[in-house]
Structure 1
Amino acid sequence: MKVEFFQSLPSTQEFLIEALKNGDIKPPHMIVAYNQTKGVGSRGNSWEGLGGNLFMSFCISKDELPSDIPPPSISIYFSMLMREVLSELGSKCWLKWPNDFYVDDRKIGGTLTNKVDEIYICGIGINLTSAPENAGILDIKTSVDELVWGFVSMLDKKILWKPIFSKFRIDFCKSKSFITHIANKAVSLQNAEICEDGAILLNGEKVYSLR
């Protein structure tokens, strides 16, 4: 994967999508910014880009990934790869369904994934040194570069879905104390059950991440 670093960008994901659309880059390709001024978060929210934190987006073709990954749970897969990198560095962060990074009960980051034709476009943001009000900070000292190259290395291993899901299933137990947003509504995960494909079973209905 080719990796490009920028001192500052409005949004790594929007920059990547535009470059992909114009034919300036081709997958696999990653864009990293040390500062981001107009980041994109889940449900159309903005992601506040404080300097020193991780802001990265990448594109990768579907055929470059393990074939057993359930397409609706691709964001969980990418998130768990980053969680593995963080865990190997000593962090106790965990992944709240479907793709929010938490330390204890505070959100420290998140993942947003879209698909254009057969190409996945994924953005990951994590608070390494500072956070907006009501958010948390990663519990270990690391650097943007260390996480970026650690993630690229983890992605190159082409880990299958099953071992990734086994670890995510453990994290899901913690998710039950929280709410998530489904169809723009806050929904408790207390009675949700996790399915083998990463979806949840809630009130008899199967719900996928879709972000």
Structure 2
Amino acid sequence: MKIIYLDVVDSTQKYLKERLKKKELVSPVAVVAHTQYAGQGSRGNSWIGEEGNLFFSFSIPIKDLPDDLKLESSSIYFSYLLKQVLEDNGSKVWLKWPNDFYIGDNKIGGTITNIVKDDLVCGIGLNLSSAPEGFSKLDVEISKENILNCYFNYLKKNIRWKHIFSKYKLEFDKSKNYFAHGVDKRVSLLNAILQDDGSIISDGQRIFSLR
């Protein structure tokens, strides 16, 4: 995978999506920024990019993704791969359905996915060294370079969704004290039932990550 390093950018996700659309970049490709000042979060929210934290986006041709991965659940898939990297380095990070990284009760990062023509674009923000008020940071010291090298090596393995899901569902109960967002409302995860395709059933409604 080609990796582009930037000093400052508004959003690695925006930067990559725009250049894929213009065919200035071709998948697979990744963009990593030292500083990001207008990061894109879920549901159009911004992600505050404090210096020293990790901000990157990457794209993969949809045809190269595991054939059992439902695109609507790709944020779970890519988030869990990073969660595995951090866990391998001693972190107690866990993944709140469907795309938020937590240490204890505090969010430390998140994932967002989009489709651009024939590519899936994934953006990840993670608080490594500092965090805004109301958030926290990673509980172990690990360099950006180490995280990225390990993460992209995991991506190369093209691990099947079934394998990732079998691990993720073991910690899904941790999400039940929180809320997620459906199409038009906030959804309690307390009585949500996780499905094999990564969606949940809540109050009779099937909800995918939608991001």
TM bin, normalised by shorter chain, reads over 0.9
In structure 2, list runs of 5 or more residues that go unmatched: none
CA distance in 1, matches of 2:199, 2:17: 27
The equivalences for 1:1-211 within 5 A come to 1-211=1-211
What SS is found at the alignment partner of 2:3? strand
CA distance in 2, matches of 1:159, 1:188: 30
Cα root mean square deviation, aligned: 0.9
Q: How many pairs does the alignment contain?
A: 211
Q: Please tell me whether the aligned partners of residues 17 and 116 of structure 2 are also in contact (alpha carbons under 8 angstroms).
A: no
CA distance in 1, matches of 2:192, 2:147: 32
Q: Please tell me whether the aligned partners of residues 97 and 172 of structure 1 are also in contact (alpha carbons under 8 angstroms).
A: yes
- Deviation of 1:185 after TM superposition, in Å, equals 2.2
CA distance in 2, matches of 1:130, 1:141: 12
CA distance in 1, matches of 2:188, 2:76: 19
In structure 1, list runs of 5 or more residues that go unmatched: none
Q: Please tell me whether the aligned partners of residues 43 and 184 of structure 1 are also in contact (alpha carbons under 8 angstroms).
A: no
CA distance in 1, matches of 2:24, 2:118: 18
What SS is found at the alignment partner of 2:101? strand
- With normalisation by structure 2, the TM-score equals 0.97
Query: Post-superposition, which runs of at least 4 consecutive aligned residues in structure 1 deviate over 4 A?
Result: none
- Deviation of 1:70 after TM superposition, in Å, equals 1.4
Q: Please tell me whether the aligned partners of residues 31 and 56 of structure 1 are also in contact (alpha carbons under 8 angstroms).
A: yes
Letter in 1 for 2:113: T
- Deviation of 1:184 after TM superposition, in Å, equals 4.4
What SS is found at the alignment partner of 2:9? coil
CA distance in 2, matches of 1:35, 1:61: 27
What SS is found at the alignment partner of 1:5? strand
Identify the range of structure 1 (183-192 vs 122-131) with the bigger mean alpha-carbon deviation. 183-192
- Deviation of 1:197 after TM superposition, in Å, equals 0.3
CA distance in 2, matches of 1:101, 1:183: 21
- Deviation of 1:116 after TM superposition, in Å, equals 1.9
Tell me: CA distance 1:42–1:88, structure 2 relative to 1, closer, same or farther (3 Å).
Answer: same
CA distance in 1, matches of 2:7, 2:92: 29
Letter in 1 for 2:81: L
Deviations 1:40-95 (A, max 9, x none): 11010110010010100011101111111112101111111111111111111010
CA distance in 2, matches of 1:184, 1:85: 33
- Deviation of 1:167 after TM superposition, in Å, equals 1.3
What SS is found at the alignment partner of 1:124? strand
